[in-house]
Amino acid sequence: MSPKTDTKKSTKNTGGLFSAGEKAAIKARAQELKAEARASKDRAEGERAVLAAIAKMPAPYRAMGERIHKIITASAPSLMPKTWYGLPAYANDNKIVCYMRMNPKPPYNDRYMNFGFNEAAKLDEGNIWSTTFALVKLTPAEETIIATLVKKAMG
Amino acid sequence: MSPKKDAQKSSGFTAEEKAAMKERAKEMKAEARASRNREEGEKAILGAINAMKEPDRSMGKRIHEIVTAAAPDLMPKTWYGMPAYADKDGKVICFFQAAGKFNVRYATFGFQPDAKLDDGNMWAASFALIKLTAAEEKKIAALVKKAVG
């Protein structure tokens, strides 16, 4: 039963007499639906932007970026893909948790894929822990490490 | 026998002697410039560290001591306002980003692509730092030494 049909039926049958509690619930649900639609649109747009940014990476890092994208979205489905300074990035509550960068041009001069975590990542471990990683090749071993890091980052 | 003494004795230098003297003069100029650059870089770094708030400042000072001891050839310079250390080509090898730089809960000690930390398919290139104890200092020194390998 959707609130919409509910609303129509109820207004007809009851002469528009919702209780204050019913009205509040209907309003809340309408807001939820709008937010869900917006989030879904944001996700689709973010995903498109992220994949476009990955497509700009040189081979073989383009394929690596695509694979990392899949690992991240599978490990933490609630992370929202979006670009950050033009980089493929993934946010939680609008805060960037992790990102990728492979730009061989100055000033970056990257010779490997950078996979980095920002402050929102909960990787804390004692007095020192790794926050960015250099990647030259992805095998199942590195894929497992990345998946574990992303899951840990989400707490 | 120095080229100078030789010059006083004879009326002229050979072409080879002239070339050698020219080279040495160039070297001395470059050395003076490098030494001046080092002094300037060091001054800039210490200025940047002194402008930090605690505990960034103490950590920055200690990191500076560790890096210069572990890799004396690295040239101190600031990079985006951060204490950084470059190779002879001027390329930044590592840097210290204070927690207060972007208001995050940890400081970062990072390495750039010219650092030789390569280790298989994947290796850590930057580190979050909450506190420096003997263990972290040792780890940083080892990383810096490896980076200039």
pLDDT at B91 over 90: yes
pLDDT at A47 over 80: yes
Closest CA to B131 of B102, B101, B86, B99: B99
Residue B13 phi/psi, 5° resolution? -90, 150
Range in A35-44, A128-137, B74-83, B123-132 the model is least confident about: A35-44
In tens, the pLDDT along A62-84 reads: 999 999 999 999 999 999 999 99
CA distance B93 to B121: 20
Identify whether B33 is part of a domain: yes
Closest CA to B66 of B4, B147, B138, B148: B138
In tens, the pLDDT along B5-19 reads: 554 556 689 999 999
The predicted model gives A139-144 an average pLDDT of: 98
- Residues of chain A in contact with residue B100, where contact means CB-CB under 8 angstroms, are none
Which amino acid is located at A75 in the chain? S
Identify whether B47 is part of a domain: yes
Range in A6-10, A39-43, B129-133 the model is least confident about: A6-10
- Residues of chain A in contact with residue B127, where contact means CB-CB under 8 angstroms, are 128-131
- Could you give the 3-state DSSP secondary structure of residue A58? coil
All residues at 6 or more sequence positions from A26 whose CB lies less than 8 Å from its CB, including other chains: A3, A6, A7, A18
Q: A137 and B121: CB-CB below 8 Å?
A: yes
- Residues of chain A in contact with residue B136, where contact means CB-CB under 8 angstroms, are 127-128
- The number of distinct structural domains making up chain B is 1
pLDDT at B124 over 90: yes
- Please give the ipTM for the structure prediction: 0.83
> What is the number of CB-based contacts under 8 A between chain A and chain B?
66
Closest residue in chain B to residue A137, using alpha carbons only: B121
For chain A, what are the domain ranges?
A: 3-7+17-153
Provide the domain limits for residue B38.
11-148
Q: So what's the pLDDT on residue A14?
A: 55
Q: So what's the pLDDT on residue B7?
A: 47
The predicted model gives A26-36 an average pLDDT of: 93
- Residues of chain B in contact with residue A137, where contact means CB-CB under 8 angstroms, are 121
* Alpha helical stretches, state H, B51-115: 56-70
Q: B122 and A132: CB-CB below 8 Å?
A: no
Does A3-7+17-153 carry CATH code 2.60.120.10? Answer: no
Identify whether B5 is part of a domain: no
CATH number at B143 reads 3.90.1150.200
Q: So what's the pLDDT on residue A1?
A: 45
Copy the structure tokens of residue B79: 């990079």
**Among partner residues A111, A119, A129, which is closest to B105 by beta-carbon distance?**
A119
